[in-house]
Amino acid sequence: MKGMDHAKMAMDQPAEHQDMSNMDMTHMDMDMGDGHMMHMGNLKRKFWVSLILMIPVILMSPMMGMTLPFQLIFPGSDWVVAILGSVLFFYGGAPFFSGAKAELQMKRPAMMTLIAMGIGVAYVYSIYAVIANDLFHVTPVVNNFFWELSTLIVIMLLGHWIEMNTVMNAGSAVDALGKLLPQTAHVVDDQGNVTDVNLSDLQVGQTVVIRAGEQIPADATIVTGTSAVNESLVTGESKAVKKASGDSLIGGAVNGTGTLTATVTGTGDSGYLAQVMKLISDAKNAKSKSENLADKVAGWLFYAALFAGILAFIVWLTVADLTVALPVAVAVFVIACPHALGLAVPLVVSRSTALAAQNGLLIRNRNAMEQVNKLKFALMDKTGTLTMGEFKVNHLVSLTPDLDETVVLQHLAALESGSSHPLATGILTAAQARNLTITPATDTHQETGLGQFGTIGDTTYGVVSVNYLDQHHLDYDHDQFTKFAAEGNSISYLVAGEQVLGLVAQGDQIKPAAKTLVASLKRQGITPVMLTGDNQETANKVAASVGITEVKARLLPEDKERLVKAYQQKGKVLFIGDGVNDAPSLARADVGMAIGSGTDVAIESADIILVSSDPADVIQFLDLARATQRKMTENLWWGAGYNLIAIPLAAGVLAPIGFMLDPMVGAVIMSLSTIIVAINAMTLKVKDVAVD
C-alpha cells in the first residue's frame, strides 16, 4: 500500500492478510487518510473496555471539583479512581501515544502529539492531586481531572470508531466487486469427474466447467466450447462478447448459452477483479496535495495551540494559581486538536473513490482529481477514444498483377493473426467473412507506429502505414490515398521488400458521446486536441465531425509524448488514450485517463481508468472531481475555522465576562466537529455527477 511509511501508521497492529475472494472487511486495517492506521477489531475493543472503565470513574470522581448527586464518594475512592484511571490512560490512550511518538520521530508534531500532550498533562496532574490530597492532606484540596481524562479518552476513541465506520462504508464498492464472483466452481479432475469446490480453494491451472447462465468463477482461458459472454458487470460493456477456444475469460462475467471448459489463469490476488480492488485500495492510500496541505495546516495549528496553551498557562498561573492554569491549558490542547482537519480531505476522497468505482471510474492517483480545475488542454487519441475502434474493410486493392485481392487479404490476415489492434481485427473479420484459410506468419515482429512484419513462405512481408512508405521512399498512388482517406478511412499497405503489393482501407464509426464530450470540454474552458497516428485526411474528417479544430496526425507514440510536454508549457494537460500505444503520454500528462479496462499498460500508466469505453465517462469524472474539490474545501474551512475560534475561547479570552471553556466541553466540541466533517463528506452523492 502506498503511504504506509507515514509516521502515523504506528497507531495499531498490522493488517491481516485477506483473501480477495472472501472480502471480509471486518478486521482489515483502515487508512484514516491522515495517516492513522487503526485495526478495526482492536479499536472497537479498546473503546468498549475504556467505556466500561470510564463508568466507575465517573461515579466516583468529581467533575471539575464538583460532586454530583449520583456520585459515590467514600474513603479510598480516590485510589480506586486513580487505579482505574491509570489503566484507562495506558490502555485507551496507547494509540495516541504511539502516534505521537511516530510524529516526533519524523519531527512533524501534529494531531496525535497534541492529544497525547492533553491527556498526559491531565493524567500527571491528577495523580499529583490524589497523592497531595490523600497522603499529604494539603489545603485547599487539589482537584483531579480523572473525570475529564476518562471521558476525553473515550470520546476520542469513539470519534476514531465513527471515522473508521464512515471510511468502511465509503469503501463498500470493494465489497460489491467481490460479490461479482460466485461462491463455488465446477472443477474437472484428471479422470474427467466434476466436483464443486469453494472459490477460495480454486487454484491456477485447474480445469473448470462453466455452464450456461453461470458466472465465471475466476480468470481463465477457454479450452473447449463457444459462447457469448456478458462482461457488463465487470467491464461496463453492455453487449455480449463471443468467446471460443483460446479466448480469455474474466472472473465475474456471465456465461451465455454455451457450456465452456476452461483453464484457470488467475484467482484471489492475481485475478482481474483483485487488480480492480487493488486500484481502489491504492487510490485510497495515496497522499494527495490537498491532504499534504491539510497536514501542514494541522502542524501550524499544533504550534499555535502549543504557544496559546503555554501562554495561557503562564498568564493564568500569574493571575490565579496552578489549579486554574492547568485546566485552562488542558482545554486549549483539547479544543485545538486538529482531528476534524485531518479527516477533512481523506473522508471526502474515500467517498469520492467509492462513488467513482460504482460508476466505472477507477481513480488510481488522487492527485489527478485536484488538477481538474487547472486543466487547459485535453489531448486525446482518435481510435478507441473518439471512435468505436471497430473497423470495417471498405476498400481492398491489389497493386500488382501477381496477387489478386483475395491473396492480398490472406497475407494481411496472416500477418495480423496474433494482433488485437482494432485495424488487425477489421482485417481478420473480413478474412473470416470470405471463409479464407489463414496460416499465421512466422517470425512476426512489430515496429511501433509503422507496422507489423513476418514471414510467409520464404518471403518477409509487412502491413504498414503510409509513414513507413514515406520514410523508406516507396512509391504509391498519392491521389488514391487521398481519395480513400478523405472518406474517413484508415489505410494500411502490404509490402514485400521495396515493393508495395496492395492496400486495405478501413472505416471506423464515431462514438455517440464523442461530440458531447468535445462540446462539454469547450464549455469548461478546456481546449480539445486530437492526436493520432492515422493519416491527416482521416484525422481531419473525424475531428470536424466532433468539433475539434486542433489536429495532429501521423504521430508515433514518442511524438504524442513530445506534444504533451509542449502543451504543458501552456497549461495543465489531460490526456485520454487507450492505454496501449499511448502509455508514455498517459504517464507524462498531468491527468492520464485510459479508455478501456484490463490492460497492464493502462493500470501502470494512467491516473484514471474508465472501465467502460464511453467518452461520456470523461465528463462524469470531471464533474465528480469538481464536486469532490468543493467538499474538500468546505471541510478544510470547517476544520481550520473551528480551531481558529476555539483556541482563544479555550485560552480564556472571555474570562473577564465570566465565560470559561473546560476540557470536557472542548472534547465534546472536537468530537462534534469530527462528526460534522464525516457527515459532510458522506453528502457527496452520485447526483453530483451529471453528464451534459
- Which domains does the chain show, CATH number per domain? 1-170 (no CATH), 181-271 (2.70.150.10), 366-387+510-606 (3.40.50.1000), 392-507 (3.40.1110.10)
Q: Three-state SS across 170-227? A: HCHHHHHHHCCCCCEEEEECCCCCEEEEEHHHCCCCCEEEECCCCECCCEEEEEECCE
pLDDT above 70: residue 162 = no
pLDDT above 90: residue 552 = yes
**pLDDT tens digits, one per residue of 285-335:** 543 444 456 666 767 777 888 888 899 999 989 998 877 887 788 777 766
pLDDT above 80: residue 340 = no
Distance CA 555, CA 633 (A): 40
Q: How far are the Cα atoms of 58, 94, 416 from residue 152, in angstroms, in the given order?
A: 12, 14, 69
Q: Three-state SS across 337-367? A: CCHHHHHHHHHHHHHHHHHHHHCCEEECCHH
pLDDT above 50: residue 54 = yes
| 3-state percent breakdown (helix, strand, coil) of the chain, nearest 5 | 50, 20, 30
More confident residue, 269 or 536: 536
Cβ proximity of 37 and 12 under 8 Å: yes
Q: Can 19 be counted among the known catalytic residues?
A: no
Cβ proximity of 3 and 37 under 8 Å: no
pLDDT above 70: residue 70 = no
- The grid coordinates listed for 646 are 476555539
pLDDT above 50: residue 85 = yes
pLDDT above 80: residue 477 = yes
Confidence of residue 633 (pLDDT cuts 50, 70, 90): confident
Adjacent-strand bridge partners of 363: 608
What is the maximum alpha-carbon separation in the chain? 117
pLDDT above 80: residue 89 = yes
**pLDDT tens digits, one per residue of 567-623:** 999 999 999 887 545 667 887 888 988 876 434 444 556 788 787 777 888 888 999
More confident residue, 172 or 97: 97
Residue position matching grid coordinates 481531419? 540
pLDDT at 170 (0 to 100): 39
- The grid coordinates listed for 272 are 482481474
Confidence of residue 670 (pLDDT cuts 50, 70, 90): low
More confident residue, 439 or 445: 439
Distance CA 550, CA 378 (A): 11
User: 12, 31, 219, 381: which one is catalytic?
Assistant: 381
Q: Which helix (H) or strand (E) holds 28?
A: none
Confidence of residue 359 (pLDDT cuts 50, 70, 90): confident
Instruction: Identify the three-state secondary structure at position 31.
Output: strand
- The grid coordinates listed for 518 are 468535445
Give the torsion sign (CA, 24, 28, 32, 38).
positive
pLDDT at 237 (0 to 100): 44
Closest Cα to residue 211, out of 200, 227, 197? 227
Confidence of residue 375 (pLDDT cuts 50, 70, 90): very high
Q: Which residue type sits at 52?
A: I
pLDDT above 90: residue 480 = yes
- Average pLDDT value over all residues in the chain: 78
**pLDDT tens digits, one per residue of 191-205:** 889 999 988 888 899
How many CB atoms neighbour CB 319 within 10 A?
Answer: 11
pLDDT above 70: residue 121 = yes
Confidence of residue 662 (pLDDT cuts 50, 70, 90): low
